[in-house]
Amino acid sequence: MSCHRERDDREAPTPVPVHCAAVGRQAVATTETLRGRIASPPGGDLAVASQVAGRIASVAVHEGDIITAGSVVATIDDSATRGALQQADAALAQAKSAAANADTTLDRTRQLVARGIAAKQELDDAVARTDQAHAAVRASSAAAELAQRSLSRALVRSALGGVITRVWRGPGALVDGTAATPVVQIAATTLAEFDADATERQLIEIAPGQQAQVVLASGAGPLVGTVIARSTALDPATGLGLVRIAVDANGPVLLGVFGYATVTAGQRQGVLVLPSVALRGAVSDGAQVVLCNGPAAELRTVELGWRDNARAEVRSGLVEGDRVAIDHVLGLEQGSPIVADGSAPTEGP
């Protein structure tokens, strides 16, 4: 009999010491996590084109260069424009000479008419010729100014500061002076935003003005952001909507970098929560927890609602005051002997 009792004692499982945390009610900030990338805002992309037709003489930038507003990005061959300016200047000088001669003739004719030597008709003709000469001066001056402006436009400048995202045309390429033949593409980096995809449920929770934190795959961040707009309709192809988040990057950021944004969608009081480390199993199918209210482990399936990295909302399956194991949760089975070797409070808000 004594040998039988020794074998039973040897086979008895040893209780597992576990730490437990109490399920309790807390005020929580509900969040939505969205995936997206850094992008330029509407109007933040600019295709820079020449305002004059001609052949590109040189391109002063490369893809990835950061430039300021007013920077020269390319130069158009201005030989034809310089010729036009020289012709306009010559025509202006000729018109001014003709106007001066007409003024002299008019003065002489007035003197002759006053002395009765010339007829009044000759004075009227001289006045008309003088008016025509001065009109020709004004027209020639306008043509010269236009030629000068055209010459200055041979320097292609950017109206936007940012990063060169693409060089469309190089030296030797022809441009027609319209937006149809851009030279480079520029994206504003100081105005960059985080564009994220959102499901229908997330769009309902998210609203402009809500605060967000953006963490990028490049390691930059977290960046502070604010929701500035959200879609009012879903893309029929993907079933997703767009959420635009303005970020305070304190300097240029690399466009196209992927990451995720955590948007604070609201504040809820008295939410029944448990630590996320207490969960086991697939959350979407109803996660399990290990109750440690007694000397043996009790597996319990719970329905969850909102959750973040630290906590999860309990919709059903537990009540306030229940204690759940927060370590060894995957190795415990129904009825496994346990010893609550300590307790840990639920994480604060």
The CATH number of whichever domain residue 17 belongs to comes to: 2.40.420.20
Last residue in a domain, options 247, 267, 287: 267
Percent of residues, the chain, with pLDDT higher than 90 = 31
Instruction: Assess whether pLDDT exceeds 70 at residue 346.
Output: no
Helix, strand, coil: what percent of the chain each, to 5? Answer: 25, 40, 35
- Contacts (Cβ under 8 Å, ≥6 apart) of 187: 40, 44, 45, 46, 162, 163, 165, 255
pTM: 0.51
Instruction: Assess whether pLDDT exceeds 60 at residue 8.
Output: no
CATH of the domain at 108: 1.10.287
Q: How sure is the predictor about 268, in pLDDT bands with cuts at 50, 70 and 90?
A: confident
55 domain residue, yes or no: yes
338 domain residue, yes or no: yes
Task: Check residue 349 and give its pLDDT.
Answer: 43
277 close to 20: Cβ distance less than 8 angstroms: no
Q: pLDDT for 168-217, tens place per residue?
A: 999 999 999 888 999 999 887 767 789 999 999 899 989 999 999 999 98
1 domain residue, yes or no: no
Give me the residue label for tokens 């309790």: 24
Burial track 154-178 (b if 16+ CB lie within 10 A, e otherwise): bebebebbbbbbebebeeeeebeee
Q: How sure is the predictor about 319, in pLDDT bands with cuts at 50, 70 and 90?
A: very high
Question: Quick one: 199 exposed, middle or buried, by C-beta within 10 A (0-12, 13-18, 19+)?
Answer: middle
Last residue in a domain, options 101, 132, 153: 153
Instruction: Assess whether pLDDT exceeds 90 at residue 25.
Output: yes
Q: How sure is the predictor about 341, in pLDDT bands with cuts at 50, 70 and 90?
A: low
156 close to 170: Cβ distance less than 8 angstroms: no
Q: How far apart are CA 223 and CA 35, in angstroms?
A: 14
Is the C-alpha dihedral spanning 19, 22, 28, 32 positive or negative?
A: positive
Helix H or strand E segment including 91: helix 79-114
pLDDT mean over 33-61: 88
Task: Check residue 4 and give its pLDDT.
Answer: 52
Q: pLDDT for 68-101, tens place per residue?
A: 888 999 998 877 777 777 888 888 899 899 889 9
243 and 305 together in one domain = no
112 and 130 together in one domain = yes
